[in-house]
Amino acid sequence: MTNLEDTIAAPATPAGVSALAVVRVSGKDAIAIANQCFDKDISQADGYTIHYGHIVDGDVRVDEVLLSIFKNPHSYTGEDSVEISGHGSPYITKRIIETLLKNGARMADPGEFTMRAFLNQKMDLAQAEAVADMISSNSEASLQMALNQMRGGFSKDIAVLRQELIDFAALIELENDFGEEDVEFADRPKLKALIHKLLTQIEKLRTSFAAGNVLKNGINTVIAGKPNAGKSTLLNAILNEDRAIVSEIAGTTRDTIEEVFTLNGIQFRLIDTAGLRESTDTIEQIGVGKAKESMQKAELLVYLFDIRSTSPSDLASELQSLPQIDQTILVANKADETNYNAKDWPDNTVFISAKNKDISPLISELERIASHYEFGNETVVNNARHADALAKSSEALQKVLEGLDTGLTSDMVALDIRNSLYQLGLITGEVTNDEVLDSIFTRFCIGK
Partner 1 sequence: MHDLIIVGAGHAGCEAANIAAKLGSKVLLVTMNMETIAKMSCNPAMGGIAKGQIIREIDALGGLSGIVSDYSMMQFRMLNTSKGPAMWSPRSQNDRTLFSLKWRELLENNFNVDFVQDSVNQILIDSGTVSGVKTTSGNTFLAKSVILTSGTFMNGIIHIGRKQMTGGRMGDHASYGITEQLVSLGFEAGRMKTGTPPRVDGRTINYAILEEQAGDKHPKCFSFRKPITIEKQHSCHITYTNEQVHDTLRKSFEDSPLFNGAIQGTGPRYCPSIEDKINRFAERTRHQIFVEPEGWNTYETYINGFSTSLPQDVQHTALRQIKGFEQAKIFRPGYAIEYDFFFPTQLKQNLETKAVKNLFFAGQINGTTGYEEAACQGLMAGINAHQNINNKDPFILRRSDAYIGVLIDDLVNKGTTEPYRMFTSRAEYRILLRQDNADLRLMPKAFELGTITQEEYDIMMLKSRNIDDLGKLVRKKTVTPKDANPILTKYGTAEIPQNYLIDKVLSRPQIKYKHLLEIKSINEWMSKYSDEEIEQVEILIKYQGYIKNEQENVQKLIKLENYKIRTDFDFNALKSLSLEARDKLSTIRPENIGQASRISGVSPADISVLLVHFGR
Which burial class, exposed, middle or buried, applies to 391 when counting CB atoms under 10 A from its CB (0-12, 13-18, 19+)?
A: middle
Closest CA to 83 of 109, 57, 45, 122: 45
Considering beta carbons, is residue 111 or 212 the nearer one to partner 1?
111
Minimum gap (Å) between residue 399 Cβ and partner 1? 10
Considering beta carbons, is residue 180 or 347 the nearer one to partner 1?
180
Helix, strand, coil percent values for the chain (each to nearest 5): 50, 20, 35
Considering beta carbons, is residue 58 or 407 the nearer one to partner 1?
407
What single letter denotes the amino acid at residue 380? V
Minimum gap (Å) between residue 293 Cβ and partner 1? 40
Residue 46, number of CB atoms within 10 A of its CB:
8
Considering beta carbons, is residue 206 or 385 the nearer one to partner 1?
385
Considering beta carbons, is residue 176 or 200 the nearer one to partner 1?
176
Minimum gap (Å) between residue 72 Cβ and partner 1? 16
Q: What's phi and psi for 293, nearest 5 deg? A: -65, -45
Minimum gap (Å) between residue 102 Cβ and partner 1? 20
- Evaluate whether 54 touches 39 at the Cβ level (below 8 Å): yes
The CA distance from 118 to 204, in Å, is 40
Closest CA to 391 of 24, 102, 91, 147: 102
Minimum gap (Å) between residue 92 Cβ and partner 1? 29
Closest CA to 69 of 82, 51, 54: 82
Cα separation values, 305 from 47, 90, 151, 275, 374, Å: 51, 32, 44, 11, 30
Considering beta carbons, is residue 262 or 433 the nearer one to partner 1?
433
The CA distance from 113 to 416, in Å, is 31
DSSP letters, 96-136, are HHHHHHHTT-EEPPTTHHHHHHHHTTSS-GGGHHHHHHHHH
CA dihedral 33, 39, 43, 49 (to 10 degrees): -100
Would you tell me which residues interact with partner 1 (CB under 8 A)?
1-5, 109-112, 115, 118-119, 121, 128-129, 131-133, 135-136, 139-140, 173, 175-182, 406-412, 414-415, 432-434, 436-437, 440-441, 445-448
Q: Are strands 8-11 and 18-26 parallel, antiparallel or unpaired?
A: antiparallel
Considering beta carbons, is residue 343 or 448 the nearer one to partner 1?
448
DSSP letters, 323-363, are PP-SEEEEEEETGGGS---GGGS-TTEEE-BTTTTB-HHHH
Minimum gap (Å) between residue 401 Cβ and partner 1? 16
DSSP letters, 235-284, are HHHHHTS--S---SSTT---S-EEEEEEETTEEEEEEE---------HHH
Minimum gap (Å) between residue 429 Cβ and partner 1? 11
Minimum gap (Å) between residue 105 Cβ and partner 1? 16
- Evaluate whether 84 touches 65 at the Cβ level (below 8 Å): yes
Minimum gap (Å) between residue 32 Cβ and partner 1? 18
Minimum gap (Å) between residue 398 Cβ and partner 1? 14
Minimum gap (Å) between residue 29 Cβ and partner 1? 15
Considering beta carbons, is residue 232 or 420 the nearer one to partner 1?
420
Considering beta carbons, is residue 80 or 435 the nearer one to partner 1?
435
Considering beta carbons, is residue 283 or 446 the nearer one to partner 1?
446
Considering beta carbons, is residue 17 or 145 the nearer one to partner 1?
145
